[in-house]
Chain A
Amino acid sequence: MYRQTDIIEDNRDTAQGNFVINVGPQHPATHGVLHLVITLNGETIQKIEPHLGYIHRSIEKMCESLSYRQFIYVTSRMDYLSAHINNHACSLCVEKGLQVEIPPRAQVIRVLMDELTRIASHELWWGAMAMDLGAFTPFFHAFRERETINDIMEETCGARLTMNYMVPGGVMHDIHPNFQKRVKDFMQLYKKKINEYDELVTGNVIFQNRMKGVGVISAEDAVSYGCTGPVARGSGVSSDIRKIYPYEIYDKLEFDEVLETGGDSFARYMVRIREMQQSIRIVEQLIDNIPEGDFMTKTKAVLKLPKGEFYSRVETARGELGVYIVSEGATTPYRIKFRSPGFSNLSILDKMVRGGKIGDLIAAMGTLDLVIPDIDR
C-alpha cells in the first residue's frame, strides 16, 4: 500500500507523503475481525477508515424467514456478550405487538439476568482492554469472576454464553432453586474483588497516563454521531435507556445513571467500573424480592403480530439496542432492523483519534468496547 520512497522520505523526517497501514481483519486488538485502514503521517493519525462486513451473517435477512419465536435465538449471536439483553429487546418488541403483559416474576427475573449479563460483559471488557494495553494479569482476574456468572447462567438457562432464555411472554423456564443463594454468594465475593480491580489497574500511574486526555469525545460529537451507552455517558451525555424510557421494572428501582464529564478514555473506563457497582445495587435490591407467581403468560402456539410497525429499545452493556419490526400480519416479520450500539460507537473512531498518535489508537479503541458481530450483524 505504501511506496518505497515514502519510507525513505519519512526516515529523513521530511515526509510530505502519508502512508497507509492496515490493522486487521486478523488483529488481536480489534476484538474480532474489524479492518481499519489508517493513513499515517509519521506517527500521527491522519485518517481512519473502518471496513466492515468480515462477519456479516445477514441476520436481519434471516429473521424475515423465521417465526416470532425463532428469530430471537439468532439475535443471541449478535452481541454475544449481552445475549440476554438482545433476547430481551426482541421479546419486548414482540410483546408490544401482541399487547401481552408479562407477570411480575418474569419481569424481575429478566432484570436480574440483564444486570448479571452487564457485569459479565463489563468484566470481559475490563480484561480485554487491559490486555490491549499490554497487561495480561487483569484478563485472568476478570475471567475468574466471569466464570462464576457463567456457572449461574448455566444452571438456570442451560447455556454459558448464548442463553436464549427470554421468550415472548416471559422467560423460558423458572429459575433454578440454587439461583438466589448462588447469586448472593457471588455478590459477597464480587464486592471484595471489585476493589482488587481498582488496586490493580485504575490507580496504576502508567495506566492513567495512557488513558487521561486520550481519545477525547466532546458531548456535541457524542450526540451528533449517535453514540450511546458508556461512550456517550463518558462525555456527560445522559443516555441510559433504563432511566429515560424505563422498561420492565426499572422505574421502580433505585440506581444512578453513571455520568462522567471528561470525555476521554479514562472517563469511559470509569463509567463502566461504576456501572458494575450500580448493577450490584440493582441485583441486591431484587434478589430477595422475586415475587411468586407464573414465569410466563400463556401465548398462542403460533404468534402473529398485527399489521403495523413496532419498536422497542433497551440498554445493553454497550448502549442502546433498538429492534424495529414491520409486520404484514403474517407469522414471520416482513422486515426487521436492529439499531445496534456498536455501529454508532464505531463511527466516532475517526473523529476521536484523528491527530493523535498511533500508539494511543488501540487504547482508545479498547474503551469503545466494540463487538464486531454486533456491528456487522
Chain B
Amino acid sequence: MSKEQNTKSEFPGEVHSLPGGDVVLSKLDELINWARANSLWPLTFATSCCGIEMMSTASAKYDFSRFGFEVARATPRQADVIIIAGTIVNKMAPVLKRLYDQMADPKYVIAMGACAISGGPFFYNTYSVVKGADHVIPVDVYVAGCPPRPEALLHSLITLQKKIKSGLTREQIRESKEAI
C-alpha cells in the first residue's frame, strides 16, 4: 500500500477476492490509527469567546459529529482531544495541566484562537494572561482567528485526523517537509 493512500480517509487495507469470500490485508498499526482518527471525542473545555464558536461548530449547521467528533464529554477521562477554546490565564494554567494529565492516552490538543496560540489580543500590557497554551501543555494543531470561524475549526479537526492517520511523530512530520 502506497503512502499516498495512507493519508486519505479510506480504509487502510487491500481487499483480495478469493473463492468463498474476500480477505482484507492491513497493518495493525494503520488499522488502529484509522479507528482512532475517526472517533475523537472532544472535552468541553471553553474559557471564553471561542467556546461559542465551538458550540456553533457542534450545532446543526456545521456539525462536527460528521467527522467523528461525536459527543463532547464533560470529563477529561472520557475525552481524546482537548480543544483549548479561549484565553488561559495564570490562575487557569494549573487547571489546564491537570485536565490534560487526567486524560487517557492517546490524547491530542488543539489550540483554538489567537489567545490559545500566543495570548492574542491580550499579549501586551497584561499581567495575568499566559502567552500561549503551549507554555503549559504540548499542542498538536493551531487554529488562527479571533475567534476562528467554525470552518477553520473543522479544518483543524481534519488536520488532526490526518496527523493521526499518518502515524508520524511531530519530529518526523517536520523532517518530511510535506504538508499533511
- Tell me whether B48 and A55 are in contact (CB under 8 A): yes
For A61-72 the 0/1 string (1 means CB < 8 A from B) is 110111000000
B92 at the interface (CB under 8 A from A): yes
Bound-complex Cα distance A26 to B45 (A) = 7
Residues of A within 8 A of B52 (CB): 80-81, 124, 161
Instruction: Evaluate whether A32 and B59 lie within 8 angstroms (CB atoms) in the complex, with A53-B91, A55-B87, A57-B128 already known.
Output: no
Contact with B along A135-146 (1 / 0, CB 8 A): 000011001101
- Closest Cβ of chain B: how far from A175's Cβ, in Å? 21
Q: Does B5 contact A (CB under 8 A)?
A: no
B116 CB within 8 Å of chain A:
no
Distance A55 CA – B146 CA, assembled complex (angstroms): 16
Complex contact B74–A161 (CB within 8 A): no
Interface membership of B149, Cβ < 8 A: yes
Known pairs A139-B59, A150-B56, A160-B149; A57 contacts B49 (CB<8 A)? no
How far is it, in angstroms, between the C-alpha of A56 and the C-alpha of B48 when the chains are bound?
Answer: 11
Which residues, 12 to 54 on B, are CB-close (under 8 Å) to A?
A: 44-49, 51-53
Q: Is the interface of B mostly helix, strand, loop or mixed?
A: loop
The answer on a CB contact under 8 Å between B59 and A143 is: yes
**Does B129 touch A at the CB level, under 8 Å?**
yes
In the complex with contacts A143-B60, A144-B60, A57-B87 CB distance below 8 A? yes
Closest beta carbon of chain A to B40's beta carbon, Å: 18
**Distance from B137 Cβ to chain A, minimum over Cβ atoms (Å):** 14
Q: Residue A162 contacts which of B56, B76, B86, B146 (CB distance < 8 angstroms)?
A: B146
Shortest distance from the beta carbon of A295 to any chain B beta carbon, whole Å:
25
B158 at the interface (CB under 8 A from A): no
For B61, the chain A residues whose CB sits under 8 A away are: 143-144, 147
Q: Is the C-beta of A74 less than 8 angstroms from some C-beta in chain B?
A: yes
Residues in chain B near residue A161, CB distance under 8 A: 49, 52-53, 147
Contact A77 B59 (CB under 8 A): no
Q: Is the CB of B128 within 8 A of A373?
A: no
CB of B44 within 8 A of CB of A32, answer no
- Other A-B pairs, 18, CB within 8 Å; known A58-B126, A64-B125, A147-B61: A25-B95, A28-B44, A28-B74, A32-B47, A32-B51, A33-B47, A54-B89, A55-B48, A55-B86, A55-B92, A57-B126, A61-B125, A62-B126, A77-B49, A81-B52, A144-B59, A162-B49, A373-B86
In chain A, what residue has the closest Cβ to B129?
Answer: A57
Are the C-beta atoms of B122 and A57 separated by less than 8 Å? Answer: yes
Q: How far is the CA of A88 from the CA of B89 in the complex (A)?
A: 27
A73 to B125, CA, bound (A): 15
Q: By the criterion CB–CB under 8 Å, are A65 and B49 in contact?
A: no
**Smallest CB–CB gap between A121 and chain B, Å?**
10
Chain B interface category by residue count = 20 to 34
Assess whether B59 is in contact with A56, with CB atoms less than 8 Å apart: no
Q: Does A337 contact B (CB under 8 A)?
A: no
Tell me if B106 counts as interface (CB < 8 A to partner A).
no
Q: List 12 A-B contacts (CB under 8 A).
A: A28-B74, A33-B92, A54-B89, A54-B91, A58-B122, A66-B125, A81-B52, A143-B55, A160-B56, A161-B52, A373-B47, A373-B49
Q: 3 tightest CB-CB pairs across the interface, nearest first?
A: A143-B59, A80-B49, A65-B125
- Does the CB pair A54–B48 fall under 8 Å? no
For residue B75, which residue of chain A has the nearest CB? A26
A161 CB, min distance to chain B CBs, angstroms: 6
| B74:A25 contact, CB within 8 angstroms | no
> Do the beta carbons of B89 and A73 come within 8 Å of each other?
no
Contact A57 B89 (CB under 8 A): yes
**In whole angstroms, how far apart are the Cα atoms of A161 and B126 in the complex?**
23
Interchain CA distance A54-B44 in the complex, whole Å: 16
Per the 8 Å Cβ criterion, residues 33-67 of A in contact with B are 33, 53-59, 61-62, 64-66
Interface check A27, CB cutoff 8 A: yes
* CB-CB nearest in chain B for A76: B49
Cβ distance A56 to chain B, nearest Cβ, rounded Å? 5
The verdict on A147 contacting B56 (CB below 8 Å), with A57-B89, A65-B124 known, is yes
Contact (Cβ within 8 A) B60 A62: no
CB–CB B147/A162 < 8 A: yes
Determine the chain B residues whose CB is within 8 A of the CB of A373 once the complex forms: 47-49, 86-87
Q: Which residue of A lies closest to B60 (CB)?
A: A140
**Chain B hits for A33, CB < 8 A:** 47, 92, 95
Given contacts A61-B125, A144-B60, A161-B147, contact A55 B47 (CB under 8 A): yes
- Whether B99 is near chain A, meaning CB under 8 Å from some CB there, is yes
Contacts of B129 in A (CB 8 A): 57-58
Beta-carbon contact of A61 and B126 below 8 Å = yes
Most interface-central of B52, B129, B146, B149 (chain A CB within 10 A): B52
**Which of A54, A61, A162 is the most central at the interface, judged by chain B CB atoms within 10 Å of its CB?**
A54
